Structure 1
Amino acid sequence: MNGFETIVFEKSQGIAWVTLNRPRVLNAFNIQMRDDLYEALTAINDDPEITVVIFKGAGERAFCVGADLTEFGTAPSPVIARQVRWERDVWELLLSLKQPLLAALHGYVLGSGVEIACCCDIRIASDGAVFGMPEVSLGMISAAGGSQTLPRLLRVGGALEMLLTGQRISAVEAYRIGLVNKVVPRRELLAAVEDVAAKILSMNQEAVRWAKGAVVRGLDMSLAEGLALESRLFALLRR
């Protein structure tokens, strides 16, 4: 799939690579990127040959610095802006994908960059990565799920500290609080993510998807309901 303005989409040997590709503005998330991602993610969702998805950012300075503030207030009306958002809800689509999603995080990972990462299943950061949720410093709150996804990854206190103070944290601190799974030198970042993808690809893919599904669906259930779900899925897989 080619022809995107703000992302690069590549597919090889069961892996889909999605590169945020606005390096001149540190891969800031704009309306066109939302539309491009929506089309790419829809294609991924419908493609049985794709078993793992990897997200990364173009350039050396950032994975994504968040929303492109130059586009704020450019919609014809709040009603139209809201309608378009719900018609192309990238965040819900990300969370609904059955394939494992991996994020290779480097440089600045701010705002929407953190929120994209939170929608992924495994996050690996370079040692120089910097994370933050700056919305409160701009008189706003997160609008792409950060207030909901961060507390599900971190302790509530850790999520609130990021959301309420806008403070930036290092990759080492992100690892300590559970925001990322691993920290590696910048030159080893893509190889580290590819290694995880290769391990996933070597597994039974039906089992991989059902394992992810059990976790994701179970988060909205009581422990008893989650255990019952696991038992049902285990029985179905053993047929």
Structure 2
Amino acid sequence: MSGTEREGAVRYRAEGGVAHLTFDRPAARNAMTWRMYEELAEGLARIEADPAIRVAVLRGAGGKAFVAGTDIEQFVGFTGADGVAYETRIDAYVEALERVRVPTLAVVEGLAVGGGLAIANACDLRVATPGARFGVPIARTLGNCLSPANLRRLTATLGLPVVKRMLLLAEMPEAETLAPLGYLAGIAPAEALDATVAQMCDRLLGHAPVTMRVTREMLNALALDPEADGSAGIRACYGSRDFQEGVAAFLGKRPAAWSGT
């Protein structure tokens, strides 16, 4: 087995305004190594630097898992101080995903566990195959814990009762259970998954980039401070060329040609 196969990779591909980030370590159900976390960060930086990118899709290779957590071998010999450093490091990666300037879509086949759930949860939208499972069963497996930041994120999206059941009972609810809660943007069988993802990307590509960026920034700010000042975002949105174009297109009864500026 080559070093790349052992350590895995996060593959980056851009096409038609969509950046595809693929967690590629299928033999280990795409469990994340330090190298993969770093490559995720590098991929997010590439998105930030490329104004042509309007949407990001995150997906696991192999069709069996999105991401099955962090590679457990990396925890051997850990101390309490190592745990604090690890959670701080993971928070930074998840926050970078949460704050990337374009809408993000997680495509979940099989498992989204531990760090994999944190990554999928930080995305704006999630699409899953039937039977896909989500959870953090650390109470019956590793005996570690999550950071306050990741607990806050999970509680914001799933609600406190669901998070408590996930963590205390080590439950792994299926997509069909989470969909009625609004957690998933859709469930699609494997044979229709690519078409469903493409359709969702097309919808996002057709919407005003500035509106989506400002809205996401405001929602992130409000999650930390219910009284966060949104005046800068409002000013950026109403002062954008896209807003002028949107008004002109609406009055002219034609589709808007968004520029993202």
Give yes or no for the alignment of 1:132 onto 2:135: yes
Partner of 2:94: 91
Give yes or no for the alignment of 1:41 onto 2:37: no
Quote the Cα distance in structure 1 between the aligned partners of 2:145 and 2:230: 35
Q: 1:175 to 1:185 in 2, by over 3 A?
A: same
SS in 2 for 1:55: strand
Quote the Cα distance in structure 1 between the aligned partners of 2:219 and 2:84: 33
SS in 2 for 1:191: helix
TM-score by length of 1: 0.86
In the TM superposition, what are the counterparts of 1:159-238 in structure 2 within 5 Å?
159-222=163-226, 225=228, 232=235, 234-237=237-240, 238=243
Quote the Cα distance in structure 1 between the aligned partners of 2:87 and 2:139: 24
What residue ranges of structure 2 are gaps of 5+ in the alignment?
245-261
Give yes or no for the alignment of 1:103 onto 2:106: yes
> Which residue, out of 74, 79, 85, partners 1:71?
74
Quote the Cα distance in structure 2 between the aligned partners of 1:227 and 1:6: 38
User: Does the 8 A contact of 1:35 with 1:88 survive in 2?
Assistant: no
The structure number with the bigger radius of gyration is 2
Q: 1:182 to 1:198 in 2, by over 3 A?
A: same
What residue ranges of structure 1 are gaps of 5+ in the alignment?
none
Deviation of 1:181 after TM superposition, in Å, equals 2.1
Quote the Cα distance in structure 2 between the aligned partners of 1:87 and 1:162: 20
Deviation of 1:226 after TM superposition, in Å, equals 6.3
Quote the Cα distance in structure 2 between the aligned partners of 1:216 and 1:236: 21
Deviation of 1:77 after TM superposition, in Å, equals 10
Q: What is the aligned-residue identity percentage?
A: 25
Partner of 1:120: 123
> Which residue, out of 48, 53, 69, partners 1:50?
53
Quote the Cα distance in structure 1 between the aligned partners of 2:13 and 2:34: 21
User: Does the 8 A contact of 1:127 with 1:184 survive in 2?
Assistant: yes
SS in 1 for 2:224: coil
Partner of 2:258: none
Corresponding letter in the other structure for 1:131 = F
Deviation of 1:141 after TM superposition, in Å, equals 1.0
Q: Residues 45-96 of structure 1: CA distance to partner in whole angstroms, max 9, x if unpaired?
A: 2221111000000002111111110111367994698289649931121122
